[in-house]
A = this chain, B = another copy of it.
Amino acid sequence: MAGNTFGTLFKLTTFGESHGKAIGGIIDGFPAGISLDLEAVQNDLNRRRPGQSKIVTQRKEPDQVEFLSGIFENTSTGTPIGFVIQNADQRSKDYSHIKDVYRPSHADFTYQEKYGIRDYRGGGRSSARETACRVVAGSLARQMLNELSIHAYTSSVGEIALVKSYQELDLNLIESNMVRCPDPETASKMIEKIEAIKKEGDTIGGIISCVIQNVPVGLGEPVFDKLHAELGKAMLSINAVKGFEYGSGFKGTKMRGSAHNDSFNEDGTTSTNLSGGIQGGISNGMDIYFKVAFKPVATIMRKQDTINEKGESTEIKGKGRHDPCVVPRAVPIVEAMAALVMADFYLLNKISKQ
């Protein structure tokens, strides 16, 4: 019950620290009889991998997933799917300078206080390295939900924002550039921005948008487990996330009911979709879309004042290879978490009625 499991029927449990031997997980509740493309899983992992482009961390991690159980002759057997990803970088000495220092806006202090002990060699369990396991599970979840399409993309980096809505974009262009923004012009500006920030040894935040299409009606459970409540939790559980909104979001608070209500067409679709594809916590078949806010990465290549474990003032400066902006690598993580939520509700909905 210490929080390392996600989902109720489609359940992912993960383990692993950034500088331990390996990270990995167990997916329990994956239905039997589904043909699986394990290369596609590795491809999704590669989209999250360090070193994939000049605007992300240059850390060397092959991030090769190895499946240990639950799959037989490329088909799911209904038994738990165990997998591991070795930590290639684990012997690195990069982190010795932070052994007893609390990095500002990192989790060093809170972990130390909560547990009385922490793996001081890096972020440990709080490192975003853990999200690689989410990508593995999310990728398998998508194969179970092959009729759905889930697309996330970078919609802002700092002040540089994509003004077009998802309907105006060609989502096939997301992977055409290293920042994962489907508008090539905006993408170029974003990349430039990240490169400039990197040169300054600083970092910058951003927003990821996500669209889920071709969703069946009926996913989501009343009243605490509303579809958007679980999506929100899923996104907020990703490292560095500070906010979540869906449909009309924060802007919707300024609207009147007469303008915000979505009228029904005779086929049950709605003419507008300010609801964001969810009404009463349950999918209505329209597109689900939401935004996820990421803060700037806490590790910067500049000197910062901080304290050590004894509460003494000291200085720290980021070393090594860190992301100047987390957003490009977080795109596949957002998709993975969305897939996990949808998969869970898809299974739950099979037993809603007789």
Residues of chain A at the chain B interface (Cβ within 8 Å): 1-6, 8-9, 11, 13-17, 20-26, 28-34, 66-70, 72, 75, 77-82, 84, 102, 104-107, 109-111, 113-119, 124-126, 130, 144, 156, 158-159, 197, 202-207, 217-218, 220-226, 228-230, 232-237, 242-250, 252-258, 260-268, 270, 274-276, 279-284, 291, 293-300, 302, 304-307, 311-313, 347-354
Contact = CB atoms under 8 A, between A and B. Distances in A.
A109 B311 contact: no
Contacts of A77: 17, 115, 117-119, 124-125
Contact of A110 (B23, B230, B249, B283): B283
Nearest to A278: B110
A212 to B, nearest CB: 16
Given A84-B68, A115-B77, A205 B125 contact: no
B22 A69 contact: yes
17 contacts: A1-B11, A2-B221, A3-B226, A13-B80, A16-B82, A20-B68, A32-B115, A32-B117, A105-B274, A110-B282, A117-B353, A130-B223, A158-B255, A245-B250, A257-B300, A265-B307, A266-B307
Contact of A306 (B3, B105, B263): B263
- Identify which of A31, A115, A229 gathers the most chain B CB atoms within 10 Å of its CB: A115
Given A32-B117, A266-B311, A353-B33, A68 B24 contact: yes
Given A110-B282, A226-B236, A279-B105, A115 B242 contact: no
A214 to B, nearest CB: 16
Contact of A242 (B102, B107, B246, B349): B246
Given A29-B1, A236-B244, A243-B245, A264 B222 contact: no
Contact of A351 (B204, B223, B347): B347
A270 to B, nearest CB: 8
- Identify which of A104, A204, A350 gathers the most chain B CB atoms within 10 Å of its CB: A104
Contacts of A265: 307
A275 B353 CA distance: 33
A253 B352 contact: no
Given A4-B26, A68-B84, A245-B242, A79 B17 contact: yes
Nearest to A111: B280
